[in-house]
Structure 1
Amino acid sequence: MKKYLYKITSVFLLSITAISCSDFLDVVPQDQILEDQVYTSEAGVQNAHNGLYLKLAGNNLYGKQLTMDAVDILGQQYNMASYASKYNIATYAYAEATPKSVFLNIWETAFTAILSANKFLESIEEHPEVVSVEKANLLKGEAIAIRAMLHFDMLRLYGPIYKIAPADPGIPYYDKFVTTSNPILPAKDVITKVLADLDIALTLLDKDPILTTGKYVATSDFDANPYYSLNRGQRMNYLAVKCLKARVLLYSGDKPGASIVANEVIAFVKSSGFFPWTTFLAATDAANPDRIFSSENFFALSDYTLYTKQKDLFDSSLAADKIYSPILTRINAVFESNDNDYRSLPSWKIPIIGGKTQKTFYKYEDVTDKTKNFRLQIPMFKLSEMYLIAAESATVSADGIAFLNTLRFNRGLGNLATTAVLATEVTKEYKKEFIGEGQLFFYYKRINSTTIPNGSASSGNLTMTALQYVVPMPDSEINFQN
C-alpha cells in the first residue's frame, strides 16, 4: 500500500504546472502542496480530474494491456507461437517472468488509479467553494464510476470464475483514501460494492449534458467553460455508467437486471437520435475509415500515443516474432470468410508490404484527415454491447435473435435463421466485435467456457479451467494481506 501511495503523490505532483520555487518544495509537506496548489482553483481541480483519465490511458491499463495487449492475448486473439515472452501469457504460464511482471504492473497501476480517484473525491469535498455543486456532481460521478470500473476489471482478471464460485476470495475494495491495506472480499461482495458505486455515480450524473446534446456539443448549462460539457463521449458519462452497470449485472448472473439496463440504453438511443449506427460508407472510407464505429461509442478513451502502439504491435513491417496477428485460417473463421462484415475488411488486410501472408490489424491505424473527432480513441462502452447483452439476457430466444439481427444488419450481415442457437451466435459476435478492446477473454470467463480456440495453432482448442481463467494475485499484494 505504501508503494501505491508514493505513486499517487508522484502523479499529483506531476500534474501541478504552476509551481516554480524549488525552496517551497523543501519546506512545505507534499500533502499541503497538493491541497493548496491543486484544489484551491477550478483549473487545478480540472487538472487533477483529467489526470484520472491520463492514468486510464496508460500502457498498464486501457491504453494497452487491458485492451489490445495482455488481455487480448489471454483471449487467444493473436498467434503468439513465435513470440517467446508473450507466449507465456498465451499459454497462461502465470509463474513465468513476463506474465508475472505484466500482471503485477496492471494490478499496481489499477489500484494506484483507484486511490487517486479516492484522493480526488476526498479533496473536492474538502474544497466545496472551488466549483459549483452542479459541476462537482459531474466530476465526482465520473471519479466514482472510474473507481467502480477499475475494481470490476481487477475482479474479472484476478477474481474467481464468478459463475461457479461467487463466494470465493476476490479482491480488496477501496472506497476511501486510506494508508492501509483493505482485506480481500468475497467476489460477490465486490460486485455489491461496484453496483453501489455505480448507482451513486448515476445519481450524481443525472444532469449529464450527454443526455440532452449528445457527446460532442458544448452547452451553456455549465457556463462558458467547455470542460464540463464538451466531448462528453471521452468521459465516464451517464450512459457509459449505464453500460457498465449492465455489464456488471450480466457478469454477476443477474440476467433480468442486465436486460432492463441494456434496454433502457437502447431505448434512449432510439428516442434521442444520438449514437446512431456507423454506416458502411463511414466504416470503409478509403482515406478516413471509422474502424472503431465512433458514432456508437458512449465512451471512448483518448490515447495520444495510440498510433505508436499500432506500429509497435501490429505494423506489417514488424518481424514475425514481434507482430501481433492471427493465423489466417483463424481470423477467416471468426468472420466466417465474409468480407461483407465491415468489421472485417477495414481492420484486417493482407498487407502489400512487409512480406506477410497473414492478415494484419489496422483498427487503430491513423487516418488522413487529422481533424476527425474519432482519432486517437479506444472504445470502452458502445451500442453493440448493449444489443449483445439484451440478446443474451432475453427470456425468449426469438427476442434474443432479433437483437442479434439488428446488430448484424448494421454490420453488413443478413438475418440469422430462426433455428439459430442464441448462445452460439452471441459468442460469434463477441469474437468479431471486440478485437483490440480486451473483452473476449472476460466473456469466456463469464460463461465459464471449458474450451476456447487456440490462437497459436491453425486448429484445435485449449482446455480452460480456473488455472487459466484466474490470474494469480501479485506476491506483493499477498504479502500486504499477510
Structure 2
Amino acid sequence: MKKYLYKITFLFLVSVTAISCDDFLDVVPQDKILEDQIYNTEAGIQNAHNGLYLQLASNSLYGQQLTMDAVEIFGQQYNMSGSHNKSTMATYAYTEKIPKATISNIWEKAFTTILSANKFLESIDEHKNVVSAEKADLLKGEAIAIRAMLHFDMLRMFGPIYKTSPNDPGIPYYDKFVTTNNPILPAKEVMAKILADLDASLNLLANDPVFTIGRTGTSTAYDGNPYYATKRGQRMNYLAVKALKARVLLYSGDKTGAFTVANELINFTKSNTFFPWTPFLDATNSANPDRTFSSENFFALSDFNLYAKQKALFDSSLSEFDIYSPLLTRINAVFESNDNDYRSLPTWKIPVVGGKTQKTFYKYEDVATKTMTFRLQIPMFKVSEMYLIAAETAAVPADGIAFLNTLRFNRGLANLAVTAVLATEITKEYRKEFIGEGQLFFYYKRIGSATIPNGSAASGNVTMGALQYVVPMPDSEINFQ
C-alpha cells in the first residue's frame, strides 16, 4: 500500500476540484492550498464528503467488484467454466493474472477510500465553524461509518475464517490519515476497532433526520439544506449503521448482540411506514419493476453507471465467454423452481434475444420510467437481512422460523413448518435474497461451510477451506510490512 499512500491527499482533493495534471508533482504546497479552498466553504465540504460516496460506487468497490462481480464469483453465483474469461476467479486461482489484478485493485481502492475518509475527518476538524456543529456531526458520523464498513469488508475478504481463527492475522486498521503503512493486526483486534468506530458513528448520528423522514423524505432540519435533510436512504444514516453493526456482531460470533440490534431495527420498521415491505405489484410491475426492493433499503448506493455495468456483465447479447449467468439447473434449484417468489421473476428470465437458453440476470436493468425513485441504486443494507440475522440468533428455533416466515411471506412464499431445519432454511434464503449484492461468499465464510454448490457444474460442490476463503493480500501490502 505504500506506493500510493503518499499520493492520497492529492488524489482525494482532485476528486472534488478541477486541476491540471501538470501540477501533479507539486503536491506539498498544492495540496494544502486545495484543502483550504475546499474546506473554507460549506459547498466545498459537501463536495468533499460526497466524494467518499463516489469512491464507494467505483468499479473496484461496491459499484461492481464487491457487489455483483468478484465476490459473487467467489460465492459460485455464476457459471464460469473453463472457457469463461473469469474461470480463474471461480477456481480461486488467486495468483493468476486476472484474480491477482482484481484483488489488488479492490484492496488499493478500499484503503484509498479509507484514507480519504480520514483526510475528510481531519480537515473538517481543522476548519471549524464553516458548518454548524450538528452538520459536522452528521458528516463525520457518515465518514466514520464508511471507514468501518470498508475495513469490515476487507477483513471479511482478506482476513481468516473468523469463526475458528479470530486471533490469526487480519488486516491493518487506519483511523487516522497517515503516509506510512500500519501493521497487520490480529483479526480480533480489527473487529474491536470496527465496532468502536460504529459506536462513535452512531453517537454522532443520534439526531439523524432518517428517524422522522425515512429514506426518501425531506426535512427542515439542518436549515432545510437538502444535502443533509433529503433522501437519507442514499447515505450511511443511523439505521444503516445499526444494520452494519448487526452484521458485524454476527460475524464476530456475538449472537446475543446481533439479535438485539437486528430486533431493534425490525421493531423500528414496524412502528412507522418508512421502510415497508415491497409489495408484489411493485416488484413485478411489467414496465417498472422494483427488483431491488427499494422500500426496504436502509441504505442504497447511487451509481450513475449502473446500467452500463448491467449490460457489460449480464446482457443476453454477450458471448458465453463473457456473460455472468448461472446454469439453468442451478438457478432453478436456488428458487426451488418457484417463480411465485418475487425475487425470481422479473429478475431472472430466459431472454428473447441473444440465443441464450439459461436465465439471465435483470436486477440492475433500467426501467421504462426514468423518474422512478429507485433507479440507479445498489442495495447495501436492508430490512430482510435483519430478519435473517434475527432468525439465526433467536433464542429458540421456533422464533427463528417465525422471523423467516415473515420474510418468506413478503416474498410470496408459504410458511415453513415449525419443524423445519432452521440453518438449512436460512442458507436457502441467503442464496435467494442477495444475488448481485455480494453477501453469499461472506455468509459461507462466516459459517465455515466446508462445501458450497459448484456454479460451473450442473451438480456437485466445491470444497472450501482457508485456501479458498482467505483471499491473499496484494504483494504491494505484504512487501512493505
TM-score class normalised by the smaller sequence: over 0.9
Residue 264 (structure 2) aligns with:
264
The aligned runs of 1:227-306 (5 Å cut-off) are 227-306=227-306
When residues 39 and 448 of structure 1 are mapped into structure 2, their CA distance, relative to the original with a 3 A threshold, is same
State the Cα distance separating 1:224 from its structure 2 match. 3.0
In 1: Cα distance, 2:23 partner to 2:48 partner: 23
Conserved? CA contact 2:265–2:386, under 8 Å = yes
Residue 9 of structure 1 aligns to which amino acid in structure 2?
A: F
Residue 105 (structure 1) aligns with:
105
Deviations 1:419-473 (A, max 9, x none): 1000000000000000000000000000000000000000000110100000001
When residues 353 and 201 of structure 1 are mapped into structure 2, their CA distance, relative to the original with a 3 A threshold, is same
Deviations 1:80-138 (A, max 9, x none): 01554411110001111111100000000000000000000000000111100000000
2:33 equivalent to 1:33: yes
What secondary structure is seen at the aligned counterpart in 2 of 1:263? Answer: helix
2:19 equivalent to 1:15: no
Conserved? CA contact 2:9–2:31, under 8 Å = no
In 2: Cα distance, 1:427 partner to 1:173 partner: 31
Conserved? CA contact 1:82–1:321, under 8 Å = no
When residues 318 and 82 of structure 1 are mapped into structure 2, their CA distance, relative to the original with a 3 A threshold, is farther
Conserved? CA contact 2:13–2:35, under 8 Å = no
In 1: Cα distance, 2:373 partner to 2:125 partner: 34
Residue 160 (structure 2) aligns with:
160
What secondary structure is seen at the aligned counterpart in 2 of 1:115? Answer: helix
The aligned runs of 1:11-410 (5 Å cut-off) are 11-17=12-18, 29-410=29-410
Question: Segments of 4+ in structure 1 off by > 4 A?
Answer: 19-28
Residue 92 of structure 2 aligns to which amino acid in structure 1?
A: Y
In 2: Cα distance, 1:97 partner to 1:23 partner: 33
In 1: Cα distance, 2:33 partner to 2:463 partner: 53
When residues 23 and 460 of structure 1 are mapped into structure 2, their CA distance, relative to the original with a 3 A threshold, is closer
The aligned runs of 1:399-438 (5 Å cut-off) are 399-438=399-438
What secondary structure is seen at the aligned counterpart in 1 of 2:15? Answer: helix
In 1: Cα distance, 2:165 partner to 2:30 partner: 43
In 2: Cα distance, 1:8 partner to 1:21 partner: 15
Residue 105 of structure 1 aligns to which amino acid in structure 2?
A: N
What secondary structure is seen at the aligned counterpart in 1 of 2:86? Answer: helix
When residues 394 and 108 of structure 1 are mapped into structure 2, their CA distance, relative to the original with a 3 A threshold, is same
Deviations 1:333-392 (A, max 9, x none): 000000000100110000111100000000000000100110000000000000000000
Conserved? CA contact 2:315–2:323, under 8 Å = yes
Residue 4 (structure 1) aligns with:
5
In 1: Cα distance, 2:128 partner to 2:218 partner: 24
When residues 437 and 298 of structure 1 are mapped into structure 2, their CA distance, relative to the original with a 3 A threshold, is same
Residue 211 of structure 1 aligns to which amino acid in structure 2?
A: F
Residue 6 of structure 1 aligns to which amino acid in structure 2?
A: K
Conserved? CA contact 1:388–1:404, under 8 Å = yes
In 2: Cα distance, 1:14 partner to 1:161 partner: 36
What secondary structure is seen at the aligned counterpart in 2 of 1:298? Answer: strand
Residue 439 (structure 1) aligns with:
439
State the Cα distance separating 1:33 from its structure 2 match. 1.9
What secondary structure is seen at the aligned counterpart in 1 of 2:462? Answer: strand
TM-score by length of 1: 0.97
Conserved? CA contact 2:244–2:381, under 8 Å = yes
Deviations 1:396-430 (A, max 9, x none): 00000000000000000000012100000000000
Name structure 1 gaps, 5 residues minimum. Answer: none
Deviations 1:139-170 (A, max 9, x none): 00000000000000000000000000000000
Deviations 1:294-330 (A, max 9, x none): 0000000000000000000000111111110000000
In 2: Cα distance, 1:348 partner to 1:23 partner: 49
In 2: Cα distance, 1:58 partner to 1:307 partner: 14
In 1: Cα distance, 2:21 partner to 2:88 partner: 48
In 1: Cα distance, 2:257 partner to 2:32 partner: 44
In 2: Cα distance, 1:213 partner to 1:271 partner: 13
Conserved? CA contact 1:162–1:251, under 8 Å = yes
When residues 273 and 314 of structure 1 are mapped into structure 2, their CA distance, relative to the original with a 3 A threshold, is same
What secondary structure is seen at the aligned counterpart in 1 of 2:317? Answer: coil
In 1: Cα distance, 2:147 partner to 2:28 partner: 30
Deviations 1:37-96 (A, max 9, x none): 110000000000000000000000000000000000000000001554411110001111
State the Cα distance separating 1:25 from its structure 2 match. 9.8
In 2: Cα distance, 1:22 partner to 1:89 partner: 38
How many residues were matched structurally?
A: 480
In 2: Cα distance, 1:106 partner to 1:25 partner: 25
In 1: Cα distance, 2:127 partner to 2:342 partner: 49
Percent of residue pairs identical: 74
When residues 100 and 22 of structure 1 are mapped into structure 2, their CA distance, relative to the original with a 3 A threshold, is closer
Conserved? CA contact 1:8–1:112, under 8 Å = no
What secondary structure is seen at the aligned counterpart in 1 of 2:185? Answer: strand
Name structure 2 gaps, 5 residues minimum. Answer: none
When residues 355 and 261 of structure 1 are mapped into structure 2, their CA distance, relative to the original with a 3 A threshold, is same
Deviations 1:259-315 (A, max 9, x none): 000000001111122100000000000100000000000000000000000000000
In 2: Cα distance, 1:404 partner to 1:308 partner: 35
Conserved? CA contact 1:16–1:37, under 8 Å = no
In 1: Cα distance, 2:21 partner to 2:194 partner: 42
Conserved? CA contact 1:299–1:380, under 8 Å = yes
TM-score by length of 2: 0.98
Deviations 1:20-48 (A, max 9, x none): 99999969812212322110000000000
In 1: Cα distance, 2:282 partner to 2:100 partner: 41
Residue 250 of structure 1 aligns to which amino acid in structure 2?
A: L
